[in-house]
Amino acid sequence: MKFLKGTAAGFAMVVGLAASAQAAELTGTLKIFSDMSNPAPRAVMEKMAADFDALHPDLTVELTVIDREAYKTQIRNFLTANAPDVANWYAANRMRPYVSAGLFEDVSDLWGEPAIADNLASTKGAMTLDGKQWGVPYTYYQWGVYYREDIYKDLGLEEPKDWEAFKANCQKILDSGKKCFTIGSKFLWTAGGWFDYLNMRTNGYDFHMALTNGEVEWTDDRVKATFANWRELIDMGAFIDNHQSYSWQEALPFMVNGDAAAYLMGNFAVAPLREAGLGEDQLDFYQFPVINPDVELAEDAPTDTFHIPSGAQNKEAAREFLRYVVSADVQTEINSGDALGQLPVNASSSVDDDEMLNQGFDMLSANSPGGIAQFFDRDAPAEMASVAMEGFQEFMVFPDNLDDILNRLEKTRQRIY
């Protein structure tokens, strides 16, 4: 898509744009490649490109939208051979192949600017490799414990703040004849969410990142401590039976029907839970509780990003676009319920009047000093993630197999890294 001056003027201008974006005199062409191919994200991307184009009379923005799955297979080729000026991708370890290959531009200078440094601080770690920043985030969403508020009230339970309260709540739920947690581990990744939280709460964000980066042995006693905490829940019978037979969606009815009281999941589960009939007085959310008080709280919040390819031709305009896309007003607009329906990464942005989104925004912006992880299958290389998540699921079903599982994961680590 190409935004010519005659057509861009027809788009609504974003109110309150960053002063630097208004002032910069940009020329030439800005080529943007995007994987935002589904209808709602595509509309967001097209509007951002058009609005930015309209801000700069001497600049022409050319937007190319590529099917998301095709984009994953094409990105290395176009970064190498015919790089755009801006490209979509993902944070943390998913950046590493392109950073290591010298295909992404170092944008640490942007992160030194107060408007970014002060407002995007919670996501800086996710954008950092080798001590430098390689892009900017534009949207993310929270993970946490979504629970049946009415069931908790009936049982006299409060949101747990620590591990002992978490387990005590679970025992009361089990005593009432319900399961503490629903989960569908058929496609493995949901078990990865449990590992992420248990490991980050047991050992901290830095340890978790070192593990997913291959720097820690899977047979390390600190990893075993994470699984020991997990086993406490398994031995209690906290999870629904036969969870390995269900997808994450197929596990939702256990919570909707009241057979399970909670779900550790991303915010994308809220819409189907509400559509299934859970009202505002039945559904609520809390941050995964403290296990080890000596580690700061870190969260899973998968983050989508913009990058400047090292082969970009118009890096001045590209940097200005990155400033624009993370500005508070733009972040508010693109993440609204009418657009992406997710969370702005700029702490000065505002969020739709949605209870879950507001809780997530507060948690990620102010209450997660320990860092933002991207989820196990993004933070670890694909093959390591696959083998590990198979092990997580096996452990949930056959916890006595732990030593064999960890030895298998350690052999895989030594081979992959």
Average pLDDT rounded to a whole number, residues 360-386: 87
Q: What are phi and psi of 320, to 5 degrees?
A: -65, -35
**What is the pLDDT at residue 22?**
44
Q: Rounded to the nearest 5°, which phi and psi values hold at 128?
A: -110, 130
From CA 276, how far away is CA 190, in angstroms rounded? 21
Q: What is the mean pLDDT of residues 35-60?
A: 95
Which tokens hold the place of 16?
């309150």
User: Is the pLDDT assigned to residue 236 strictly greater than 50?
Assistant: yes
Please check whether residue 231 is in contact with residue 198, taking contact to mean a CB–CB distance below 8 angstroms: no
> What's the CA gap between 268 and 207, in Å, rounded?
27
Dump the DSSP string for 347-395.
TTS---S-HHHHHHHHHHHHS-TT-EE--HHHHS-HHHHHHHHHHHHHH
Residues 79, 75: Cα–Cα separation, whole Å? 6
* Domains of the chain, each with CATH number or no CATH: 2-139+304-349 (3.40.190.10), 143-300+373-416 (3.40.190.10)
**Cβ(331)–Cβ(344) under 8 Å?**
yes
Nearby residues of 276 by Cβ (< 8 Å), 6 or more positions away: 252, 253, 256
Q: Count the alpha carbons within 13 Å of 404 in the hemisphere toward its beta carbon.
A: 7
394-408 mean pLDDT: 98
Q: Considering only CA atoms, which of 84, 74, 11 is closest in space to residue 48?
A: 11
Contact between 55 and 22 under an 8 Å Cβ cutoff? The reply is: yes
Residue 413 pLDDT exceeds 70: yes
Q: Does residue 138 carry a pLDDT above 80?
A: yes
**Which tokens is 233 given?**
């829940």
Q: Which stretches of 59-148 are assigned E, i.e. beta strand?
A: 59-65, 86-90, 128-129, 132-133, 136-140, 143-148
- Output the pLDDT for position 369: 67
Q: What is the pLDDT of residue 105?
A: 98
Would you give the distance in Å from CA 181 to the centre of its chain?
Answer: 21
- pTM equals 0.86
pLDDT for 1 equals 45
Bridge partners of 260, per DSSP, are 179
Q: Which of 89, 12, 97 is nearest to 46 (CA)?
A: 12
pLDDT band at 23 (very low <50, low <70, confident <90, very high): very low
Which of helix, strand or coil describes residue 50? Answer: helix
Residue 44, pLDDT > 90, answer yes
Place of tokens 């830095």: 206
**Strands 86-90 and 303-307: what pairing?**
antiparallel
Backbone angles phi, psi at 86, to 5 degrees: -140, 140
Instruction: Please state at what angle helix 205-212 crosses helix 189-203, rounded to 10 degrees.
Output: 130
What letter does residue 240 receive in the DSSP assignment? P
Question: Whole-angstrom Cα distance, residue 364 to residue 96?
Answer: 23
- pLDDT more than 70, % of the chain: 94
Mean pLDDT of the chain: 92
Task: Give the mean pLDDT of 396-412.
Answer: 98
pLDDT band at 11 (very low <50, low <70, confident <90, very high): very low
The pLDDT confidence band at residue 312, using thresholds 50, 70 and 90, is very high
Amino acid 367: pLDDT = 61
Helix, strand, coil percentages in the chain from 3-state DSSP, rounded to 5: 50, 15, 35
- Rg (C-alpha) for the chain, rounded Å, is 22
Residue type, 367: N
Q: What is the pLDDT averaged over residues 387-415?
A: 98
Distance of alpha carbon 200 from alpha carbon 277, whole angstroms: 33
The per-residue pLDDT for 368 is 61
Dist. CA 259–CA 173, nearest whole Å: 10
Task: Output the pLDDT for position 92.
Answer: 86
- Partners of 3 in beta bridges: 61
